[in-house]
Amino acid sequence: MARGSLLVVGTVAYDSVRTPAGRRESALGGSGAYFSVAGSYFTGVSLVGVVGEDFAPSDMDILRSRGVELSGLETKPGRTFRWSGVYGAEDVKTRDTLDTQLNVFEDFAPSLSDAHRASGYLFLANMEPSLQLDALTQMSPRPRLVSLDSMNFWIDGSGDALRRIVENVDVVFMDEGEARSFTGQVNLSAAAKAVMGTGPSSVVVKRGEHGALLFHGDGVFSAPAFPTERVVDPTGAGDCFAGGFMGYLAATGDLSEAGFRRAAVVGSVMGSFAVESFSLDRVGSLERGEIEGRFRALTEMAAFAPLGEGESLPWRGRQDWREE
């Protein structure tokens, strides 16, 4: 498999979700499914995971229709991973998990083919941290870039195992609450620095409708969120953010500061599509112009005139008001 190719190991799930906009039962979801579909608009993506015998051929077709490479998606006896959650009526960012059934994921051990092991870019999607470590240790040679996502279910239940894998990756994606609970730091810059102090060179803190902060080396970049009015279901927004981010980097190979900044904006664009429908309905059927249009709109939104050579901001100091 080419060094520019992107591998994701993660869950493929049936999600039952209730949001202020409505509800959807047993719909295609999962960290690996959302990520691979979002990334597939930019580069070839291989998905490694497991589904049960109840997994519908039509759902396999949704992944296939985006050209996701599925040789590593096993079907095992038993039921597919299931998750259900409910979002706050006042603040759609607040989510409660009602139920998590690992099902076939309980006995899952990722087994990577030679082609998968040689992928240049790896995303360890939200799943049990020991599985993330297992997948990473199989890679040979080490990918150009390894990133990881997690969630409170694992931060609370398997924090030590998660810390061991975080130390070994380049980029960590977390939402605000996860960054705080993982590090014990309330301040987001302090939380990001605490994570980076253990190994990763970048941390992306996702802040929902407030965009995302990319901590990269000594710099910080603030990627705006696209202000969509159609928030139907936030499930998978984080995975689609990561899919856009990693897909862009794998497609361009540009791991410079400028490349990372663009990747964060592409991530923000893909997250904004994910929230506009339940399941993969919207993010699975995008046109090129829609993605480009939002990227250009965000470029416009974030632009402001820099101070020119020798120019400074207006300033009224003590001396000035004393003399007035």
Give the binding site for ligand AMP (CB under 6 A). Answer: 11, 13, 15, 29-31, 83, 100, 126-127, 151, 153, 235-239
Decide whether 6 or 237 has the Cβ nearer to ligand AMP.
Answer: 237
Decide whether 206 or 216 has the Cβ nearer to ligand AMP.
Answer: 206
Spatial CB neighbours of 175, under 8 Å, sequence gap ≥ 6: 205, 206, 207, 208, 238
The C-alpha atoms of residue 114 and residue 316 are separated, in whole angstroms, by 65
What b/e sequence results for 16-34 when a residue is b if at least 16 CB atoms lie within 10 Å of its CB, and e otherwise?
bbbbebeebebbbbbbbbb
The C-alpha atoms of residue 167 and residue 292 are separated, in whole angstroms, by 35
The C-alpha atoms of residue 107 and residue 213 are separated, in whole angstroms, by 36
Decide whether 31 or 119 has the Cβ nearer to ligand AMP.
Answer: 31
CB of 127 to ligand AMP, least distance (A): 5
Decide whether 238 or 244 has the Cβ nearer to ligand AMP.
Answer: 238
CB of 153 to ligand AMP, least distance (A): 4
CB of 112 to ligand AMP, least distance (A): 19
Decide whether 126 or 147 has the Cβ nearer to ligand AMP.
Answer: 126
Decide whether 192 or 270 has the Cβ nearer to ligand AMP.
Answer: 270
CB of 251 to ligand AMP, least distance (A): 21
CB of 99 to ligand AMP, least distance (A): 10
Q: Are 12 and 80 in contact (CB under 8 A)?
A: yes
Q: Backbone dihedral region of 33: left (phi > 0), alpha (psi from -120 to 50 degrees) or beta?
A: alpha
CB of 323 to ligand AMP, least distance (A): 57
CB of 31 to ligand AMP, least distance (A): 4
Decide whether 278 or 295 has the Cβ nearer to ligand AMP.
Answer: 278
Instruction: Identify whether 77 is preceded by a cis peptide bond (ω within 30 of 0).
Output: no
- Tell me the pairing of strands 6-9 and 121-124: parallel
String of DSSP letters for 176-235 = HHHHHHHH--SSHHHHHHHHHTTS-SEEEEE-GGG-EEEEETTEEEEEPPP--S--S--T
The C-alpha atoms of residue 8 and residue 203 are separated, in whole angstroms, by 18
Spatial CB neighbours of 240, under 8 Å, sequence gap ≥ 6: 34, 35, 37, 38, 267, 270, 271, 273, 274, 283
CB of 129 to ligand AMP, least distance (A): 10
Distances (CA, A) of 76 to 9, 80, 89, 103: 16, 9, 37, 10
Decide whether 208 or 224 has the Cβ nearer to ligand AMP.
Answer: 208
